[in-house]
Structure 1
Amino acid sequence: MADTEVSMDTQNELNDLRMSDGAVPLYEHVKSFIKDVVNPMSEEFHRLGEGKTDIWSYAPGQLEALEKAKDEAKKQGLWNFFLPDAETGEGLKNLDYAYIAAELGKNPLASESMNCSAPDTGNMEVLERVGTPEQKERWLKPLLEGKIRSAFAMTEPALPSSDAKNVSMSAVLEGDEWVINGEKFYISGAGDPRCKIMITMVKTSPDAAPNKQQSQILVPLPHPGVTILGPMHVFGDPDAPHGHMHIRFENVRVPKENMLLGEGRGFEISQL
């Protein structure tokens, strides 16, 4: 009987989906910040963007308004919640972050105001976990500071690319450079003029085991041979200037040091 009671208590604890007491003050702080800072900034941001002719750019004053909110978020300690148990983040458990993320989702500019926007969140987590010191200095640091944006390029035309084993875009090592050829589409964030780096899933070892054929390589933007063909529309919306872009890679050359973790470890990284 005692064993059964312990087992039931343990099960009840595992099923407890309440926010931890320690995260409640931060949660309330986030809600207040959205109400007092993000919502008014958002109104100004959209007002400034009315009537702009180039949907793939920002109107004068828009980014300045956003940066002002970001600076205030940093000042108030509301920054980089998404990195669990990491020195670079808030150290929140995923369950606690889920409650905060639900609040961030209520205003399209709230996540970016606190540097918790996808796809930057996942890219920063990858770089934080597997990046070299040089990769972290060049790309992770400005991402953590909210100075640049990023993209993750995996999905390919005519392939069920949600399974990373199906990725076919080739990368061949020539001397000290990887040469990349192929196409990607629905690459979220690549339309933003502030997007400066893409984590790109490629096939480097076609004769290896199915889960050892892929690698992830850092490709800067803009870069010779990388052509953004245009946006993919979602329910008729191009989602400018963020965008979900169709991109062609033609003999794109990047240093071999741009490889993440090691050749053939791309599928492994995607499981992090």
Structure 2
Amino acid sequence: MSLTRSEWREREQAHQERADSLTAAHRDRARRGEKHPVWDFLFTYYSYKPSRLRRWHPGAGIELEDAVERRAWRWYSPGTTDGGAVPDAQVFADEKPELAALVERMLRRTASRPGQFGCFGLHEWAMVYRADELRHPVPLRLGQDGTDRVVESHELRCTHFDAFRFFTPEAVPRNRRALSRDDQPLLEQPGCLHAGMDLYKWALKLGPLVPGELLLDAFEFARDIRLLDMQAAPYDLAAWGVEPVAIESVEGKAEYVRRQRAFADRGAALRWRLLDSWLGATAPVS
């Protein structure tokens, strides 16, 4: 498949306009030197600047006609048309074999497992359990003692290493099992909010092999999940207009699980779109 220059330039412009709209509030805050305890995460934890979101690519194997300027771009190859350029999955695999294997393993193995929905977002509570200092300059909704009691009255069931690694030392042994980086491909599961947000990370790591429209869908998905992640957290975010999901209550747990399941369904579709746009959805797990 190929796109004429007028076709791909039109898609590129639409992509840039959508990306600018998605990042406008963050860029405005950055110009003012203003921090936000919810949304900065999307640009600090993942450490990708808004400019990365603006760069549109067609996806692996889609040739851009009359795009000689892109032949020098990373993981592009000359196309079959005069001046054509195409994102090349094989070039990526040859240059980054370990990354290619990891991304495929994480996407496929996570997609193959049933979701787990009994964690209730307690990973954020475990990060401040019996803490002398808070990770964010935001007060705790139930105070320190109340927060600690919530942790102590539940079993921690976190399956995501990049959340677990921020647990306080006192919270670590309370988790159902110890987690490690090496075990992450074995334990990641689609019910986890952070596994869903990480689809944005994997999309960015694949660079031009992922269509720009899919990249922005993954960013929007991470943004939507981030809101629930912080609504269910122990912080009092009323000053930022964030209504809590009180997971310490029966009603709060039910709301959290309902929304968690909906995110798992959205994430499943995105996971397969990433695999399909990159290398088709039939290659075996390595």
Structure with the higher fraction of residues in helix conformation: 2
Q: TM-score scaled to structure 1, two decimals?
A: 0.24
The structure, 1 or 2, with the larger RCO (C-alpha pairs under 8 Å, 6+ apart) is 2
TM-score w.r.t. the length of structure 2 is 0.23
Structure richer in strand, relative to its length = 1
